[in-house]
Amino acid sequence: MKLISLALLTATVGTWPVAQAGLIFQFDYSYDANNFFSAAQKSALESAASYLETRIEDNLLAIPATASSGQTWKPVYRNPATGVLVDYANMAAISVPAQTLLIYVGSRSIGGGTLAQATSATSVTALQGPSGDPWRTTVLGRGQTGVDIYPTVAPNTSTDFGPWGGSIAFDASSSWYFDADVSTTEVPSGQFDFFSVAVHELGHLLGIGLASSWTRQVSGTTFTGAASVAANGGVAPPLQTDGGHWASNTASELPNSITPQEAALDPDITAGTRKWFTDLDWAALEDIGWQVTPVPEPAEVTLFAGVGLGVFGWIRRRRQAAARAVRTK
């Protein structure tokens, strides 16, 4: 996410949908060599995860370390503390629980005006052992029938996405704001809202800009996904030239409102502002293949303004109860 100076947008209030059982982001801090993640930082990251989890339901199969037939797999990702590919040749085999995305997080001085980087949402090593489509479907698609399990062979036919997870590096040199209560929207001038940036990077690991089911719907510098086109007033929304973000300054509305906001997955954010997912960002997840639950009507939701984080506490307890430790062997 680049730091490009933009005009401040109107302060907004997000609506919180009813919590659902479904997707779980499981964070692994073993690469936090620079001690970036104190309790406050972890809490802000969990809040960003909970915000997205409330509207995403899907049936992701567990990935065992080794299949019953003897096949194995290893993820490929960058060490968030160094930016270097992890030496997967000497890595212990891991498993990923059902419904769970495993996210390795850490920090380093990224430079270039970049606040954070999400990498390697889909890569795995060569599947070792006897070949077979059932194992490839589990590892490369988490059981999602619309995933092209031979992604390097043209044509790209993916209509769904089932990643194992990925890694996120946050810039250690930036001036961050870690909001202890994201039900409020204040962000001090001159600081970057960690919650907003974390939501952005998790959006990438959910496939925006990365998934084969995203790239299949990129046409030049526009995105042709049906839900995104509908959310953009019937016009294909514009993209950055690399196809990985909405074009700078792309705006949409917050769910169940007429409140405009710059899209969360455009490439930039202004210091002192908070960004939620807009209708366009949620629509992109639908086009990628995620099951996105509708936002309740305004009379049935609780507004962030003036409320505490009871809902966050409830969701965190659910996540902690549901998430299992990653097994190694």
So where are the chain's domains? 15-214+292-322
pLDDT band of 222, cuts 50, 70, 90: very high
Pairing of strands 116-119, 100-108: unpaired
Please give the torsion angle defined by the CA atoms of residues 61, 62, 65 and 70, in that order, rounded to the nearest 10 degrees.
-40
Mean of pLDDT over the chain: 83
Do the beta carbons of residue 88 and residue 78 sit within 8 Å?
A: no
pLDDT (0 to 100) of residue 1: 40
Who's near 310: CB < 8 A, 6+ residues apart?
none
- Residue spans of beta strands (DSSP E) within 135-174: 165-171
The predicted pLDDT at position 131 comes to 65
pLDDT at 121: 62
- Region class of 209: left (phi > 0), else alpha (psi between -120 and 50), else beta: left
pLDDT recorded at residue 178: 96
Write the single-letter amino acid at 168: I
The mean pLDDT of 116-145, rounded to a whole number, is 81
**The pLDDT of residue 211 is above 80:** yes
- Does the pLDDT value for residue 324 go beyond 90? no
What 3-state DSSP class applies to 43?
helix
The span from the CA of 287 to the CA of 282, in Å, is 9
Across the range 269-285, mean pLDDT stands at: 97
Per-residue pLDDT, 275: 97
Quick one: pLDDT band at residue 2, thresholds 50, 70, 90?
A: very low
Q: What is the pLDDT of residue 122?
A: 66
